[in-house]
Amino acid sequence: DAKTTQPNSMESNEEEPVHLPCNHSTISGTDYIHWYRQLPSQGPEYVIHGLTSNVNNRMASLAIAEDRKSSTLILHRATLRDAAVYYCILRPMDSNYQLIWGAGTKLIIKP
Amino acid sequence: DSGVTQTPKHLITATGQRVTLRCSPRSGDLSVYWYQQSLDQGLQFLIHYYNGEERAKGNILERFSAQQFPDLHSELNLSSLELGDSALYFCASSGSGGKLFFGSGTQLSVL
């Protein structure tokens, strides 16, 4: 199964945009790119996912490189409530259970 | 609120004991997944059930077992508990679309 690589931690100032990178150089053509986040003492929460094109929703935007070997989760205006661990994971098109979760990126928001 | 309910929230027990963790999926979701999260680690996939049938096994120990009942709730049974089994155990459900919805977890402490 393809794996992802993320920085261990990132810091950002409140009300500024945040770009969280993810490398997935061994991604296959049928793997979706999913992002989840886990707030302290909570279960992971779905953020966004995409296949080839950039995606936007009310929580974030997902920018996918043309070769699909990397992606970036964009929080347009970070708040203190966005402080969490962000996981970038790959999901094969025909499965959910093969999700391989790395350690994620711990996002620290400074007021 | 994800719609996935896990009980109990906290469980403290002794080595060698057996415990049962319970999960009720979102209304209408047929799939239930169990994950283990040790301190400061990513999530480890344990097992997946779909409509009462086991679909996939991950890194689940032989001392652990699970089942999904006709009403779609699921139970994860952990026996002969060891100190290393102390962790957060998450249940997730999914319908169509590939998104996982996680419960708030059961914190298991084995003393």
pLDDT tens string, chain B, 111 residues long: the values are 889 999 999 999 999 999 999 999 999 999 999 999 988 677 899 999 999 999 989 889 999 999 999 999 999 999 999 999 999 999 999 877 778 999 999 999 999
Taking CA atoms, what residue in B is nearest to A97?
Answer: B48
Minimal Cβ distance to B98: which of A96, A100, A102: A96
Residues of chain A with pLDDT under 70: 1-2, 96-99
Minimal Cβ distance to B42: which of A32, A96, A102: A102
Could you tell me which residues of chain B have a Cβ less than 8 Å from any Cβ in chain A? 2, 4, 31, 33, 35, 40-45, 48, 55-56, 58, 90, 92, 94, 98-105
Q: Which of A103, A92, A79 shows the shortest CA–CA distance to A27? A: A92
Q: Give the per-residue pLDDT at A96.
A: 61
Which residues lie closer than 8 Å to A58 by C-beta, 6 or more apart? none
Q: Which of B5, B46, B100 to probe by mutation at the A interface, max A CB count within 10 Å?
A: B100
Task: Round to whole Å and give the CA distance between A92 and A29.
Answer: 9
Tokens of A21: 């990178």
CA distance B83 to chain A (A): 21
Which residues lie closer than 8 Å to B6 by C-beta, 6 or more apart? B21, B22, B23, B24, B89, B90, B91, B103, B104, B105, B106
